Structure 1
Amino acid sequence: MERIGIVGRGLAGLRVASELRAGGYENQIITWDSDPYPPYDRPALSKKMFGEYNHPLSADGLGDFTELGADSVPHPATRAWSEEGKWFVLSQNGVSEPLDVLVIATGSAPRAVIPGARVLYDVDDAEALRAAIKPGARIHIVGAGWIGTEIASAAAHQGAEVEMWEVTPSVLSRTFAGAVDDLWLSWMREAGVKVNLDSPYSGDRTGRDLLIQATGVQADVAFLDGGARSPHGSLVANLSGEVLEAESPTSAVVPGLYATGDCCDILLPNGQWRWGGHWTQALADAQRTVSAILELPRASQLDAPEVFSTQFGHEIGLVGEVPAGTSPTVEQTGESTIYRWMDHSGNLVALLGIDAPREVSRARKALRHKL
């Protein structure tokens, strides 16, 4: 392979480049992305909005594109397609030279459809929100998911007046379906955050200084010709990161096309899904993808999906996928609160730990699957 392309220079793309070099690949790596900053940790933009929010990934030893010798195209891909066994990428710089392998690592882009609303996606967004969120500022947030609740926590801590709207009946409804409402709503009341559940945004322009939309994200893959799409609109990949064919997404793969990180959902051999959107997936899946590209031995274990958050003075960790229609057991130990979801055989399938790092660590090990 003379030339490998990586579209996306975030955590997933950086880890692919790092693993390629670690695996012995010495030829050309080309990357595409319009973000002018060296790769940084996106979760910190909301979790540490008024702290060390701009944290370069190189500071954690996760790689540096310049040191890895990758060639950078400072523009996003506008189209990517296959022709005669090679891949090509179109950007403002023109069409790339033929690529032997193309890796899609573009992550997800926030949904932004409310006129006048700001989103939180990159460093510039974080800078704008930091400047606008001041003591006494009236902040309206649409969406009570992870990003929305983290922004609400940060804004309330700064002394802003925060009001939220959520169209579903629950906080973090896509993850917990109401199981944690009592806890989260108590935190919000204590912080002075007003929450309107089961309510679309009123659109009141006079009662606000800042409107933020935090209603979820969608995979940034519209530029790509080919490949199966999941029910979420993400690319469908197997455990080796190979993108599956749209016509036969349970068997055939698209030659030379891989995806890793938030832009893809993984279809497991048993027909179940491992949904994307997790930081740990962006971090860890590059190793399996590069092992497939370079025909190296694949990792023998698969980590469970994991979410971590800091809000309302609490450290929060979720390991595993919360099963639909199942109620958790709740344990209070000192300052820690632990929610456990079990399957019909009594096996742990997901754990939410509030200020419970040891329990989260144990769950991480317990839910690690052998491949």
Structure 2
Amino acid sequence: MEPVTMEQHNRLHIHHRKILAYLLLEEGDKNFMRLERKVLRDRHNPFETPNVNFINMFRSTKEMALEIINILEEHYPMTIANNAIPFYLKVLVTLHFLGSGSYQTPVGSVAQICVSQPTVSRAISDICSLISQHLMPIWVKFPVMEADKASVKVGFYNKYGIRGVIGAIDGTHVEIIAPPVADNDHPPFVYINRKGRHSINVMLISDSDMKIRAVDARYPGSVHDAAVWQLSNIRAHLMAQYNIGIRNTYLIGDSGYPLEPWLLTPFANTRNEGEERFNNLHKTSRNVIERVNGVLKNTFRCLSRHRILNYHPAKATHIIYASIVIYNMGLNAGLNMDVHEDDEEIDENLPVNVPVEINRNLLVQGREERQNFILANF
């Protein structure tokens, strides 16, 4: 397909530019501008809806939406075909889908724009992929610099009274449709989780402010949390840091994870007051990641346990990443996330008794580190 000329590009996007300029005008100047009906394919401009309605509809402020549009548009290939509708509409229908979980035909109608189902489907795939590539590295960062680690540690200590913690880790399942039987790269049976449903097992790490600091959505539902962690780049980083002598830096996780010198898990059976106090403090502090799971799925209903992503696993992964990016952007913008606990998952992780290779030396070191932690803090 031939790329568009500069003249064609300008003609295709002139209405888009008008809308962005319109939004930046003072209220008194807006009477001088009128949107042409064919721009939005009806009389409604989504950016003119009240702020509260806009946030409910797109899970973002108008400023956030414009920032996403402006950044992603620079990376979007310009051709006649993919500019059949303005780029900003593709972003808005995607944001609405992430927030509502509604299937594709209702997305266009709620946004009051006449967009066909195939167009919406392509927009969701394209925009989520762009968000994963170009916004996730900016908005989802694990603390690796000393200043960042110190800031996160202070947050956990001030809120929960626990020292040295740079994140709480947990896994959550996002249900998907079964991949095609003939898909050798994504065989359907490996996506069947313990509940008999097809899903992706998503590893999340959050700080004390409920900001997601790391995510891994590459593995199917049959893979245990401990196995996802064992293959994680975050684990490799923390192990390397420990081996060069950087200690007193921990993640906290439930009993579904193996005890390691950099990953503290609770005691299965406490034997004294110190261990009991450790377990209580550990549980209170770890609650933040369980709340994150609930709030994330309640805010971005496409991830909810009441929905199923009707996408191939590769596309579903990008949808998960895009939802987390918008979640973090919303926290940064001060949005009041819809904190309902109706979608919070019950902690069903089992102790590590699955076929995961456990390094016995690390287990011994982890026990020593946990005991030292108790002696130093209790």
Q: TM-score, normalised by structure 2?
A: 0.23
Structure with the larger RCO, 1 or 2 (CA within 8 Å, 6+ apart): 2
User: Which protein shows a greater Rg?
Assistant: 2
Q: TM-score, normalised by structure 1?
A: 0.24
Greater strand proportion: 1
